[in-house]
């Protein structure tokens, strides 16, 4: 090999083209330059027709195309447009050979048509090979980006599959959590109990329920684990066993197996507090209302452990907030819980709600608080059972613009209702729809707002 041959740059190697040389298609009278490129290791093919070149491009897919600005059967700009229509991935690097008469406007037109680079004739071998080296670098970058895009698309598909799977699992978990409410209504003597549970996400940390203690007493509970989502839902699932109707699991009923008395409300709060403090992996807390109701005479013993104040509505429509607060469960080794006793009279009802209701906000940032809760109870004073709870939830959704920030749960206890107004327990549970979400009852009572701060947003349009 002579000195001139040794001075020629070698064809660039690339991982994508490791088993072949770079393919160069020449549409011009560049016989000498073609020989130099071949000696440098390029795979060179030449033709004198742009139409033939397009046919070659469909078969061989060259890496570089060197073409005249003006060709007998097609201009260089027209060739670029035609080539890009078959080179959708942008794999080919096109260099047009211009003459001195092409100005800036023509060059811009060529770039817009798909030209990558241009050279002014007469073409010098070293300059052409330098442009090819630059083009090879661009091709490597482009190929790397394409491979990375392929990898990212694959990862996105995998993430989408994982997300879909997680969403299906969460929907199943939501159904299971709803199933933890073994019944969402019950009639015990003169007491009618109705409940609603609406997690902010698919699952949440609120839990409500009831269980019979003996033939004239029923236990009613509402608890709220700090936080919401999967972690809180798992804790709620564990606690549901401690408050189930199974006397072997229920912390209140367990002493009866040995002939003892059921746990008092305060004793239950202390028992749950010990259980949570002994749990090494539990680093949260919960609030609780637990009421022991004698449904024969309306007598209630209740403990409040940090949960919002229950609201008692008397038969004449007046209100009374119950309890003084008490400490949450799971924070202190020797907590002080608030215990109270009172008697519900015929025609009275008690509403227990989580802070997801009392601290729900309107678009202006105003929370509902107990005053707003009393307004809702007044607005729907002629509605009972689950119909009242659904109406309340719809009013809250409209008030907040359906922006639910926290789990919502409520228990309604109505005592001594006339039989004609008692909720129909057999039809209290609304059926799930196709995707497992909760259906809202299709018809709600249209009540006159006798005292309401919602300006009609409580749902009343009468």
Exposed/middle/buried for residue 310 (C-beta within 10 Å: 0-12, 13-18, 19+): buried
Residue span of the structural domain in which 348 resides: 182-427
Element (H, E) at 387: helix 385-400
Task: Say if 459 falls within a structural domain.
Answer: no
Structure tokens at 307: 């949960």
Question: What is the reported pLDDT for 461?
Answer: 32
Q: Do residues 52 and 96 lie in contact, with contact meaning Cβ atoms separated by under 8 Å?
A: no
Q: At what angle do helices 76-86 and 104-113 cross, to 10 degrees?
A: 20
Same domain for 144 and 187?
A: no
Same domain for 244 and 312?
A: yes
Same domain for 21 and 127?
A: yes
Task: Say if 34 falls within a structural domain.
Answer: yes
Same domain for 43 and 100?
A: yes
Classify each residue of 193-226 as buried b or exposed e, where b means 16 or more C-beta atoms within 10 Å of its C-beta. bbbbbbbbebbbbbbbbbbebeeebbbbbbbbbb
Question: What is the reported pLDDT for 182?
Answer: 58
Q: Do residues 208 and 411 lie in contact, with contact meaning Cβ atoms separated by under 8 Å?
A: yes
Question: What is the reported pLDDT for 12?
Answer: 53
Question: What is the reported pLDDT for 399?
Answer: 83
Domain count, the chain: 2
Same domain for 105 and 244?
A: no
Task: Say if 450 falls within a structural domain.
Answer: no
Measured CA to CA, the distance from residue 351 to residue 195 in angstroms comes to: 10
Measured CA to CA, the distance from residue 229 to residue 206 in angstroms comes to: 10
Question: What is the reported pLDDT for 123?
Answer: 87
Question: What is the reported pLDDT for 322?
Answer: 94
Task: Say if 360 falls within a structural domain.
Answer: yes
Same domain for 145 and 186?
A: no
14 CB-near residues (< 8 Å, 6+ apart): 22, 136, 139, 140, 143
Of 72, 67, 63, give the one whose Cα is nearest residue 46: 67
Same domain for 66 and 198?
A: no
List the CATH number of the domain containing 103. 3.40.50.2300
The C-alpha torsion from 64 through 69 and 73 to 74, rounded to 10°, is 80
Task: Say if 113 falls within a structural domain.
Answer: yes
Question: What is the reported pLDDT for 429?
Answer: 44
Domain boundary among 149, 169, 195: 149
Mean pLDDT by 10 residues, the chain (462 residues): 43 50 90 89 92 91 92 92 82 88 86 91 88 89 87 88 67 58 80 90 79 94 81 76 84 87 95 88 86 96 96 94 93 92 96 91 79 90 92 88 80 88 54 41 33 37 32
Pairing of β 408-415 and β 349-353: antiparallel
Structure tokens at 276: 């949570």
Domain boundary among 127, 149, 171: 149
Task: Say if 462 falls within a structural domain.
Answer: no
For the chain, the 3-state helix, strand and coil shares in percent, each to the nearest 5, are 40, 20, 40
Task: Say if 171 falls within a structural domain.
Answer: no
314 CB-near residues (< 8 Å, 6+ apart): 320, 345, 347, 348
Structure tokens at 318: 């007046």
Structure tokens at 303: 């403990």
Of 22, 105, 30, give the one whose Cα is nearest residue 68: 30
Same domain for 320 and 414?
A: yes
Question: What is the reported pLDDT for 46?
Answer: 93
Structure tokens at 435: 């995707």
Same domain for 220 and 333?
A: yes
Task: Say if 410 falls within a structural domain.
Answer: yes
Measured CA to CA, the distance from residue 380 to residue 240 in angstroms comes to: 31
Same domain for 207 and 352?
A: yes
List the CATH number of the domain containing 241. 3.60.40.10
Question: What is the reported pLDDT for 158?
Answer: 85
Measured CA to CA, the distance from residue 215 to residue 59 in angstroms comes to: 88
Same domain for 187 and 144?
A: no
- Residues 373, 376, 381, 384, CA torsion sign: negative
Same domain for 144 and 252?
A: no
């Amino acid at each position: 090999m002579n000195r001139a041959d040794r001075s020629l740059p070698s064809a660039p190697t690339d991982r994508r083209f490791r088993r072949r040389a770079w393919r160069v298609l020449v549409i011009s009278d560049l016989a000498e330059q073609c020989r130099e490129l071949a000696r440098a290791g390029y795979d060179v093919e030449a033709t004198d027709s742009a139409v033939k070149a397009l046919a070659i491009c469909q078969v061989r897919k060259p890496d570089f195309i060197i073409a005249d600005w003006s060709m007998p059967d097609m201009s260089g700009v027209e060739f670029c447009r035609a080539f890009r229509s078959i080179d959708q991935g942008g794999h080919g690097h096109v260099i047009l050979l211009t003459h001195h008469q092409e100005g800036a406007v023509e060059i811009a037109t060529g770039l817009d048509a798909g030209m990558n680079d241009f050279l002014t004739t007469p073409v010098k071998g070293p300059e052409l090979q330098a442009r090819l080296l630059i083009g090879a670098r661009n091709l490597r970058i482009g190929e790397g980006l394409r491979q990375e895009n392929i990898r990212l698309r694959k990862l996105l598909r995998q993430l989408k599959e994982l997300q879909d799977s997680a969403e299906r699992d969460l929907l199943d978990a939501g159904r299971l959590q709803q199933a933890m409410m073994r019944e969402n209504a019950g009639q015990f003597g003169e007491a009618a109990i109705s409940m609603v549970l609406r997690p902010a996400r698919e699952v949440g940390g609120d839990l409500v329920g009831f269980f019979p203690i003996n033939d004239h007493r029923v236990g009613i509970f509402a608890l709220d684990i700090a936080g919401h989502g999967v972690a809180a839902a798992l804790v709620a699932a564990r606690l549901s066993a401690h408050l189930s109707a199974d006397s072997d699991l229920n912390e209140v009923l367990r002493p009866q197996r040995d002939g003892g008395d059921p746990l008092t409300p305060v004793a239950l709060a202390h028992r749950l507090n010990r259980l949570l403090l002994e749990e090494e992996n539990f680093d949260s807390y919960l609030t609780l209302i637990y009421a022991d109701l004698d449904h024969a005479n309306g007598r209630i013993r209740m403990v409040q452990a940090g949960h919002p104040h229950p609201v008692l509505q008397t038969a004449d429509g007046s209100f009374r907030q119950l309890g003084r607060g008490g400490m949450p469960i799971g924070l202190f080794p020797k907590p002080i819980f608030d215990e109270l006793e009172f008697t519900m009279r015929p025609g009275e009802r008690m509403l227990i709600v989580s802070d997801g209701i009392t601290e729900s906000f309107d678009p202006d940032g105003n929370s509902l608080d107990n005053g707003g809760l009393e307004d809702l109870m007044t607005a729907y004073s002629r509605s009972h059972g689950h119909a009242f709870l659904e109406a309340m939830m719809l009013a809250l959704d409209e008030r907040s613009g359906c922006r639910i920030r926290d789990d919502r749960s409520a228990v309604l206890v109505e005592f001594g209702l006339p039989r004609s107004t008692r909720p129909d327990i057999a039809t209290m549970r609304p059926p799930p729809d196709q995707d497992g979400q909760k259906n809202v009852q299709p018809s709600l009572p249209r009540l006159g707002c006798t005292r309401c701060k919602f300006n009609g947003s409580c749902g009343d349009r009468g």
